[in-house]
Amino acid sequence: MVFLKLGGSLLTDKTTPETIRADVLSRVAAEIAAGRPETLLLGHGSGSFGHLHGSRHGTRSGVQTAAQWRGFVDVSDAALRLNRLVVRALLDVGITAMSISPSASAAVIDGQVTSIATGPIRAALNHGVLPVVHGDVAFDEKRGGTILSTEEVFAALLAEFRPSWLLLAGETDGVYDQRGETVPLITTDNFDDFAAALGGSRGFDVTGGMAGKVRDMLALVEAHPGLRIRIFSALTAGMLQAVLEDPSRPVGTEIR
């Protein structure tokens, strides 16, 4: 099984509020249709849709006041608007795809997912339906409300589905070192060599940027030793299809 995330930076212009890259989205959908492995769980980030409102209202840190709850639902509304565009693009290329929103089933305490419903995802897979999860808001027993990244949703699903690969398709060619060159492999042994070069994220991002992403991915491969992760760019035509067909293809950065 493969988990695939389409990054918000890939699908949207993260420097401009709620701006979809329509040409990229339609091409990426076609490449998923062509290269889709037998068992796939798809997720996508919120890009300049959800992140804009999340940054404005501080939603990830907690939701308490009436104004913050309005911000919470604004984040939800924006994330769902992007999600509908993604699912529609998949349907248009013949993929039987269905949105499964984490906000409806994730139990969260102080930003940590304690449980998430896997039954609907399993049922979709069993019937040949492509389940599509996404970055989303969630009710939080301690914070009131928060935001979950797609990676956090994936992390909560790893134990149940045990994918061999987690593919992170974005706009950058991988993780860059201090010379601006792509690092082919990052492990817990060599991460410190590259940590200083990892910056934040271009544009709106409330979930940590590249530095936070790499640290989180290292934690995942430590917790799930059979898991391999690849960060790569899907801006090059044909690259996403090629990586779906052979995830071990040496492009971008592998984390293991």
Q: What is the CATH number of the domain that holds 142?
A: 3.40.1160.10
Average pLDDT over every residue of 38-64: 88
Higher pLDDT, 145 or 55: 145
Q: Which range, of 30-39, 55-64, 155-164, averages the lowest pLDDT?
A: 55-64
178-191 pLDDT per residue, tens: 888 999 999 988 88
Looking at the structure of the chain, the number of domains it has is 1
pLDDT given for residue 199 in this prediction: 58
Look up the pTM and report it.
0.91
Which range marks the domain in which residue 76 is found? 2-255
Which string of DSSP letters, residue by residue, matches the chain? -EEEEE-HHHHB-TTSTT-B-HHHHHHHHHHHHHH--SSEEEEE--HHHHHHHHHHHTGGG---SHHHHHHHHHHHHHHHHHHHHHHHHHHHTT--EEE--GGGT-EEETTEEEE---HHHHHHHHTT-EEEEE-EEEEETTTEEEEE-HHHHHHHHHHHH--SEEEEEESSSS-B-TTSPBPSEE-TTTHHHHGGG----SS--SS-HHHHHHHHHHHHHHHSTT-EEEEEE--STTHHHHHHH-TTS--SEEE-
In the predicted structure, residue 202 carries a pLDDT above the cut 70: no
Q: What is the mean pLDDT of residues 197-211?
A: 56
Quick one: average pLDDT of 10-22?
Answer: 90
- The pLDDT tens digits for 83-99 are 999 999 999 999 999 99
Model confidence at 176, in pLDDT bands (50, 70, 90)? confident
What is the average per-residue pLDDT within 242-250?
97
pLDDT in tens, 117-158: 999 999 999 999 999 999 999 999 999 999 999 999 999 999
